Structures are given as structure tokens and as C-alpha cells.
Structure 1
Amino acid sequence: MTVGSLFAGIGGIDLGFKQAGFDILWANEIDRNACKTYKLNFPETTLFEGDIRKLDVSLLSKVDIITAGFPCQPFSICGNQKGFSDNRGNLFFDIMRITDAVKPQIIFLENVAHLVEHDKGRTFNVIHNELVSRGYYLRYLVADACDYGIPQHRTRTYILAFRDVERCESYRFPEMVKLEKRVFDIIDKSVKADDSYYLSENSPKHNKMAKAITDDNQIYRFSDYGIQSGKDGICFTLKANMGTWYDRVPIIKDNYGIRTITPKECLALMGFPKNFKIANITPKSAYKQIGNLVCVPVINSIAKNIYYK
């Protein structure tokens, strides 16, 4: 089965589908640095770099599935919640424009958990009605990644739209998976990171964090409400603002000191494999890209249940 990917980012959704056996034929992404990372990891995929609003549909080959992790900020409880009145929210209709041209059998959408409740359900109704009017039947799931084996609280809405009503009715979202790993099963505290990640000893931030760390097996970060701690060895949601405010990057105490976690460790907490490459970009850009990601094992589980030969 073949996939066309919109709002591809660095390829989190694409990787989950690829692992499940799909061929990613083409992708679209506007962020230049994300494109650099994407091309490193998906060299065989045709990548259309630029604004989706200017994407020429005549260049797109037919695919079985269109995937889109479309911008979540207009619908997030952490944002202004402008929804479709936000230009980023309106980009959903470009997914529909491309759907009209490509006519995939299945559409997979991913967004924040609050999408279902945004504007008292009206936003979700618009999405539902746009898909139904094109002959699609819908299933959706709101799920937290830690219920699917990833030690991070990352709740997202996953929407599947099928042209075939029987396939829609027979589709089952994956069963929950018992959480076997915690943060420090993924991050090795015995491995020293680059010196640039450690908080300078006796600096105000170091001293505040040193007082706050009462359990070395938890992960911490500075927040609007003081210092936030993870619980039960599970990481809180990794956010895109890690790239805007560096002090929002999670912090741990390892065997060598108190430090922020690295981009590679953030990827690991998203379920990315060790061989996934990050382009030569600034740490801020890397953290921003990672904060916009999906947890790959969740996507992979959903995709496996779609796949057929």
C-alpha cells in the first residue's frame, strides 16, 4: 500500500507507516530544517518542500492513503484555540483540496486531544462533515502514548476515514499495551552527555533545580508554575516550545550532574529508533521539530491494523 504525507515534519507518521510495510511515495513539508532531517531518513521519498497552499496537485501520484499531522496549535488548550479562524487551522481545507485530487481510499489525521472538544465540538463536526461529504466513513481514537508502551504522557486524537464502509466497520484500533519501560530505561544516566547540556554549578537555575530534584528517577522541567516533576518514571508531554524557550527542555540528574536531555534522547522518548538521523541544525530547531512529533509506536500499531496486501 502507498502513502502520501502532508505536514510530514521530520517523518514521525511516515516512519510508523513505513515500519508497518507501507511505501511512502511523496511528502510535503514547509519547514526547511525539518526537510533536511526528512531527506536524511527518507531518501527514496519525493519531498515537495514548501507551503501546502501552493502545492500543485498535478505533481502528486495516486496513493492508497493520505496522512496528515496538521497544525495543532489552533486547537490546543495550550494555544489561543482560534481553530479555523487561525490561518494554520484553515490548512485543514488544503488536505481536502488534495484529497479531491488524489482520491485516496483512506485518510489518516492526527491532532491534539482537545480537537474533539474544541469550540464545543463544532471543529470536529466540520472535519467530520467535510470527510463524510466526500464519501468517507470515520473512526477516531483519543489516546495517551503511555498506554501504548511509551513512557511519555502524550494524548492525541487519531482519525481514520475510509471510503469502504465495510473496512471502516471492521477496523479496530490497537489494544492498550502495558507500560514496561520508564524514562531511565531509555535514557542511560551512566553515559556522559556533551558539556553544553549541563547546568552550570552554582548558577541560579542549577541551584533551583538541585533543590527541586527529590527523586533521581524522575524527569523535571521549568514551567510557568515553577518546577514540574514527572511521576512514576513517565515523562510529561514534550512540547514544541522547547525550541523557543530553552529552559522548557526536560532536565534530569545523571551520574555527572544536572542537565537537559539531548535531542536524541527526546527522539527516544518518542519511540524513534537509534539509527534515525538528525540533520546538522541548531539545537533549538531540533527541539522544536521533536516537540511537534508523534510517538512512532502508536502510529505503527494503528498502521499495522490498516495494512492489507
Structure 2
Amino acid sequence: MKLEKTVADFFAGIGLVTMGLIKQGWQVKYALDYSDEKRQMYQNAFGVGHYHCKDIREISGTEVPKVTLAHASFPCTNISVAGSRSGLHSGESSTFWDFVRFLHEMGELREIGKPPLILIENVEGFLTSGRGEDLIVALKALNNLGYAVDIFIIDAAHFVPQSRVRLFIIGNLFSFSQTYDEIERIMSQQKGARPQKVKDFIASNPTIKWSLRNLPDLPQRTTNLADIVDESEEWWVKERTEYLFNQMFERHKSQIRLMMQNEYWSYGTVFRRMRMRSGIKQSTAELRTDGIAGCLRTPKGGSARQIIVRAGFGRFDARLINACESARLMGASEYLIPQNISLNNILFGFGDAVCVPVIEWIAANYLNPLFNELNSMIKASQRAA
């Protein structure tokens, strides 16, 4: 038996995890999500035949083909610091347990078996949800299925001009539980992807079956916000831009005025938030000018739409970030955006996705080496038999 680079992509969305894995030689045999608009976008980009538009709670592991890797980006609604924080056992985030159920049901079928590798993605808030208990319970559930686990955090800003911090879990069925000394040695060598809060979590949970791997330093980003701007998009009319300007704190207005004095364009982004301004809680335009966009969101309300601004040559312009720019911020500039899907649904798809070069980096530096090691182990055991 030899493992193949095959994947089942749960909560597949519009397919940005699929895109990242394909770029590193993986083949997605099964993709699942419940949104028809996401299905249309996915199939427009990656073809038909393997995407299933169903609620994960309504299907079983018997419907999933044999694969080497199972990926799940389950909803963050109930564990995000921006959400309800009601926990892993409530609301949409409870679908994590359906992913666990899938793995168990696949393991019950000898002709299929559990995937030897799993990859899980969610918001950084998973680390602290329920005072850390949600993540502990989740990791122990994976241990109970036979998976030794590893965790790390990556900010997409290492790859693209967008601040997007995410927690990743990788599990495998072949590793022995590491000793405390082995864990300490690996963590002492790690910096970027395992910040201190991750190291502290690992160190404070020795009963979890860990399988940590050395990770290289995260790359330094080579692009900034100006590189993703779609110059063909029209800017707002003067009155609308002035209205946005007047919603800013005075310090942000001063920053815009300085930028306007330059003989070149400077770019920034704005989110509208309810803030105390002039002694009144009101909609406030908060400016960011460090060359990085804020984290793309799903546009469920007007405040969730991120605004891009430019200033220079005595001018100040503003408008909403468009679909093309959203794709670029997710490292998916080549993504085929369909013409028959509403802009809101397109933006929802990108805001609910995983940054492509982050997945590429994980595949190149973790999944592919682990895959090769597992195949070598299988080959050695076959020779011994």
C-alpha cells in the first residue's frame, strides 16, 4: 500500500484551501459545503463532480472516499472573540463534532479507514475559547481517534498585505506521543509559528498526545496594500468621501491631510465601528495606514465591508474593496471569479476562506514532508513483512 496525495475538504467554501493544496501536488477528491453560491464559485474555479452541497450534519462518513488528508475549516461563529464565545458545543461551531464523527465513521469502515492526516483551521480565538477548555476538549477528541496533534498560529500578513491570524491543528495516526524533553527541545527552537501563548498552551497540557515538528521561520512579506489596488475601479463621489472623512477621529483626519500633501498616492483601509466620538457613541471610520488591510470579513452588515482609501496630489479618495482586491488579499489573484454571482456573495466567499499561500506554506513545510515520511514507514514495514 502506498499513500496518495488525496484530500477530502470539509467546509470547503469557495475552494481556497483546495487551491493551496493543488499547488503543492494534492488532489481534492471530495469537497463539502452547504452554500449553493459557494458551490457555484468552487465549481467555476475547479470543475464539477466532487463538490457536494449538503449540510455536514445530514451526511455520514460512508459517503466520503478514501483519502490521505482530511481538512476542516469549521465555522468560527461561537469561538471567535468577535462572535458569541458560547463555545464549541453550541451553534455553527458545534459542527466540529460532525467532523469528528466523520473521522470515526470512516475508521469503522475497513475498506476506507480514517485519513492518516488531518488539518484543521480556525480563528486564533480557539486558543482561548472557554478559557482554553474548548481547544483541550477538541484535541483530546482527536487523540481518542488515534491522532497525535500539533498546533501553531500563522498570520497571513507574512504572505499577503492582510492581517489574518489563524490557528492550525495537524494530526497524524503514525506518531508516538513525544516525551516532555522532546517537546521542550522543539519549542525552544521555534519562534514565528509558535508564539509564546502557543508554547504555554502546549506546556500546560502534557496529557495531550503531542506530535510537534520543527517549523522553519515564516517568510517576510514582499508586497503591500498598494500592490493589490485595482486601478480600474471607480472611486466614490466627493460628497460620499467627505462624509467618510467626517466620521474619522481627529488624529486620523490629520493623517489624511499629511498624506494629501505628497506627490504620490498613499493607501490605507478603513472599517466603520461604533465608537465614542465627540462624547457620543456613533459610527466611526477607523483608519489603518501600515500597508496592510484589516482582516477580510463576511459582509453580513454594512460595517463589515472594508473601505480602501488613497491620498496624495491634494486629493483624498475612498471606496469599498472590490472582488478582485479581495482575491488578491487572499493570495488568490488567479481565482476565476464568476459573473453570475452577486458581489456580496463573492465577498462573503473570500471573507470566509483561508489564505492560499498560508496553505501552500503548510503543505510545503509540514504536510508534504510528513506525507513522504509516512510512505517511507509503510514501505519499510512492507519490506519487514
TM-score (norm 1): 0.90
Deviations 1:103-142 (A, max 9, x none): 0001100000010111111000111110000110011111
Q: Does 1:227 align with 2:280?
A: no
> Contact 1:2–1:65 at 8 Å: present in 2 too?
yes
What SS does the aligned partner of 1:143 have?
Answer: strand
Q: Which of 173, 180, 183 is the aligned partner of 2:225?
A: 183
Q: For residues 337 and 170 of structure 2, what CA distance do their matches in structure 1 show?
A: 29
RMSD: 2.4
Q: Does 1:111 align with 2:122?
A: yes
Which of 1 and 2 has higher RCO (CA within 8 Å, sep 6+)?
Answer: 1
| Structure 1 unmatched ranges of 5 or more | none
Which residue of 2 is the match for residue 128 of structure 1?
A: 139
Q: For residues 260 and 132 of structure 1, what CA distance do their matches in structure 2 show?
A: 44
How does 1:4-19 map onto structure 2 within 5 Å? 4-19=8-23
Q: Which of 268, 275, 281 is the aligned partner of 2:328?
A: 268
Q: For residues 37 and 246 of structure 2, what CA distance do their matches in structure 1 show?
A: 33
Change (3 A) 1:59 1:279: farther
Shift of 1:89: 1.8
Shift of 1:44: 5.2
What SS does the aligned partner of 1:4 have?
Answer: strand
Q: Does 1:201 align with 2:238?
A: yes
What SS does the aligned partner of 2:169 have?
Answer: strand
Q: Which of 32, 40, 43 is the aligned partner of 1:39?
A: 43
Q: For residues 330 and 95 of structure 2, what CA distance do their matches in structure 1 show?
A: 25
Structure 1, 205-214 or 150-159: larger mean CA deviation: 205-214
Q: For 2:305, give the aligned amino acid.
A: R
Shift of 1:288: 1.6
Change (3 A) 1:86 1:175: same
Shift of 1:207: 4.7
What number of residue pairs does the alignment pair up?
A: 302
Structure 1, 210-219 or 231-240: larger mean CA deviation: 210-219
> Contact 1:243–1:283 at 8 Å: present in 2 too?
no
Q: For residues 12 and 230 of structure 1, what CA distance do their matches in structure 2 show?
A: 26
Deviations 1:231-259 (A, max 9, x none): 3211111111x243266322223799421
Change (3 A) 1:217 1:26: same
Shift of 1:166: 6.2
What SS does the aligned partner of 2:88 have?
Answer: helix
Change (3 A) 1:12 1:247: closer
TM-score (norm 2): 0.73
Change (3 A) 1:45 1:64: farther
> Contact 1:192–1:256 at 8 Å: present in 2 too?
no
Shift of 1:275: 4.2
Which residue of 2 is the match for residue 301 of structure 1?
A: 361
Q: For residues 232 and 84 of structure 2, what CA distance do their matches in structure 1 show?
A: 39
Shift of 1:176: 0.9
Larger radius of gyration: 2
How does 1:90-169 map onto structure 2 within 5 Å? 90-102=94-106, 103-146=114-157, 148-165=158-175, 169=211
> Contact 2:245–2:285 at 8 Å: present in 1 too?
no
Q: For residues 120 and 267 of structure 2, what CA distance do their matches in structure 1 show?
A: 35
Q: For residues 214 and 352 of structure 2, what CA distance do their matches in structure 1 show?
A: 26
Provide the identity percentage: 25
Change (3 A) 1:98 1:84: same
Q: For residues 44 and 217 of structure 2, what CA distance do their matches in structure 1 show?
A: 32
Q: For residues 164 and 157 of structure 1, what CA distance do their matches in structure 2 show?
A: 22
Structure 1, 288-297 or 248-257: larger mean CA deviation: 248-257
